[in-house]
Chain A
Amino acid sequence: MEIRIESISKSFGDVRALVDVTFDVNAGELFGLIGPDGGGKTTLFRILTTLMLPDSGNAVVAGYPISDYQAIRRSVGYMPGRFSLYPDLTVEENLKFFASIFGTTVEKNYELIRDIYVQIEPFRDRRAGALSGGMKQKLALCCALIHRPKVLFLDEPTTGVDPVSRKEFWEMLDRLRQDGMAILVSTAYMDEASLCDRVALIHQGKILTTDTPANITVTFGRPLYAIRTSNVYEVTRDIESYAYARTIYPFGEHLHYTDKREKPDPIELEDFLRGKGHHDIELTAIEPTIEDAFMELAETHSQILTQ
């Protein structure tokens, strides 16, 4: 096990950033920490990378307790959410600098970063500040990998990156995992969760669940319907007055609907909406996604809190 987190809590004044967080990440595993902004993801990263001390709880990273910060700093790679390389140094200079402060050279670990580095190599003499968003992330990943860490921490690596670069980025992570590296990656994009081996859903500092993406969607456990309509607002309002309606969430141009009954009656719902004057609607049964599971769990979580 490369990361073991045992009931870590951290508060900033009255704000409870992390509440009793516990999970493990194995070697060769791509582990996703999924949750909205302000959920406590970055705080957990800062604790695991020894930049911050937890109020309570323990963690072991790469075989060292987090109090042994010197050992951990030698064996982990960290890519903060904010681009944090030297914008006035070139691509190559940044890479060489980070290699040298870890007491290694770019040549020694070149094959580890080769697949990524070849994509930015044409710009090796360009200053890092002048790179595009996707290029910056690739360079940051190279710099975080250059000392061949055992554990890699990536804090929202794909935020603000275009879809093509995002896809490439995840393909690279997949390759690194196959090398046996433990990777903890956080993201607010629910669609990226399915690319992880296992995910933990985090909300308001609490881990809602930890499982494989497939299992999480299975535990959703209810029939789910997508409603397509041109009038999202009106339809949402009307469905809320439908007697059997349980939840209704907007998902892009669709609405996701669950029913209070075990076996919902889609025809009845369609009739109900027609009766309200909505004619251009389309109702289809769909498989739940991680995002549906997240909304469901977050809802239950807040209900527990309010009770």
Chain B
Amino acid sequence: MKTIFHLLKKEFRQIFRNRAMLPILFVMPAVQLLVLSFAATFEVKNISLHIVDNDQSSLSRDLTQKFLVSDHFKLTGISFSSDEALDDMQRHNTDVILHIPEHFERDLVRNQKAKLMLSINAIDGAAAAVENAYATTIIHDFNENIRIRMADQISLTGQPKVLSVTQSFWFNPELDYKTFMVPGILVLLVTMIAIFLAGMNIVREKEIGTLEQINVTPIKKHQFIIGKLLPFWILALVELGVGLIMCRVIFGIGVAGSIWVVFLFAAVYLLVVLGIGLFISNFTHTQQQAMFLSWFFMVIFILMSGLFTPIDSMPHWAQVITEFNPVRYFVEVMRMVMLKGAQLPDILPQLSKLLVYALVMNGLAVAGYRKVA
């Protein structure tokens, strides 16, 4: 116990003596929270729109107008030829082309049916899907209005009633991406502190040769490992606290559930991540190697965490892989507790999985750590 205390004292002394450490602990998370939370949004604004209006009728002008009043679209060109519009897209001046064919109004009035065409630049697939959805909504809206107007004009009494569907979003009523992203980004911050700093710290002792000196002392394996991991466990929890305060103050996102549930889960989660860091440090000899290996895992963990892309839309095999991704569980739980107000019983499945994960990971890491070469 006393030895661990001395090791901790030494570790904290070194951590806070490192000039880069305080900025890493307090400035880096602030910057990431501020930048990522605003930048990492799936909302697509200012979509450049090119309209090819070959009809020049009152209805086609109505439709054009409907696009122009929407916040999402901005008109970058109007022409009479599809070729010209496509050229425009080739030059990256426009993302969406709306083609209104000749006799659009005539066909619509006479045949109750007319055709429109949307051409969307799909180099960025995700954006294209969103743009398509926006444009379709506007056209759909327009269509409704026409039906009502025409029904008036023709006074058809037998017109079927239009069934309209309205939506409302729970837990994030305005579908604000910040509300959605911020809890997830907090997870990233905490994970980075744990996986990089802890792993690299041990490898650093190997690199500068102090590990050899430590190994010739009566320090026991578990004392050394606890002395190495505990400081970063504490720092990461402090970091989480700082992040939660920033969420409340800057974004107005509080914790809907209990803050203790968040910390309890984080405490277990950090054991897993620190175990991974320790595991990596067993197999590396320089900080550079440790850094690259940690990055390898980090990138997989982040991209497969459901933070940026929903896990439900991944192929089945990828969904199976995410079961082994600790970041996935923490992102899930953070969103559940912060936005939905989930209680301890609600997160028990994730908590128990992580507990098992923590035991296995640390078991492997401790077994792999050798004092005798």
With A52-B373, A69-B372, A84-B208 as known contacts, state yes or no: A89 contacts B213, CB within 8 Å: no
CB pair B216–A78 under 8 Å, yes or no, is: yes
Within the complex, what minimum Cβ distance (angstroms) separates A24 from chain B? 21
Task: Pick the contact of B216: A50, A53, A85, A89 (CB < 8 A).
Answer: A50
CA A89 – CA B10 in complex, angstroms? 8
A228 on interface, CB distance cutoff 8 Å: no
A100 on interface, CB distance cutoff 8 Å: yes
CB pair B213–A85 under 8 Å, yes or no, is: yes
- Which A residues fall within an 8 A CB radius of B? 46, 49-53, 69-70, 73-74, 76, 78, 80, 82-89, 93, 97-98, 100-103, 143
CB pair B210–A84 under 8 Å, yes or no, is: yes
Chain B 199-237, CB-CB to A under 8 Å as 1, else 0, gives 000000000111011111111000000000000000000
CB pair A73–B217 under 8 Å, yes or no, is: yes
- Which B residues fall within an 8 A CB radius of A? 2-3, 6-7, 10, 13-14, 17-18, 208-210, 212-219, 372-373
CB pair B213–A80 under 8 Å, yes or no, is: yes
With A84-B209, A86-B210 as known contacts, state yes or no: A100 contacts B216, CB within 8 Å: no
Q: Which residue of A lies closest to B223 (CB)?
A: A101
A74 neighbours in B (Cβ, 8 Å): 218
CB pair B7–A101 under 8 Å, yes or no, is: yes
CA A73 – CA B17 in complex, angstroms? 30
CA A102 – CA B223 in complex, angstroms? 13
Q: List 18 A–B pairs whose Cβ atoms lie within 8 Å, in order of A's numbering.
A: A46-B373, A51-B212, A52-B373, A69-B372, A78-B213, A82-B209, A82-B212, A83-B209, A86-B14, A86-B210, A89-B10, A89-B13, A89-B17, A93-B13, A97-B6, A100-B2, A100-B3, A100-B6
CB pair B18–A88 under 8 Å, yes or no, is: yes
Q: Which residue of B lies closest to A140 (CB)?
A: B213
CB pair A101–B6 under 8 Å, yes or no, is: yes
B217 neighbours in A (Cβ, 8 Å): 73, 98, 101-102
Nearest first, the 6 closest Cβ-Cβ pairs linking A and B are A84-B209, A100-B6, A78-B216, A84-B213, A82-B209, A49-B216
Within the complex, what minimum Cβ distance (angstroms) separates A224 from chain B? 41
B13 neighbours in A (Cβ, 8 Å): 89, 93
CA A59 – CA B373 in complex, angstroms? 17
Q: Which residue of A lies closest to B3 (CB)?
A: A101
With A80-B209, A100-B6 as known contacts, state yes or no: A52 contacts B372, CB within 8 Å: yes
B218 neighbours in A (Cβ, 8 Å): 70, 73-74, 101-103
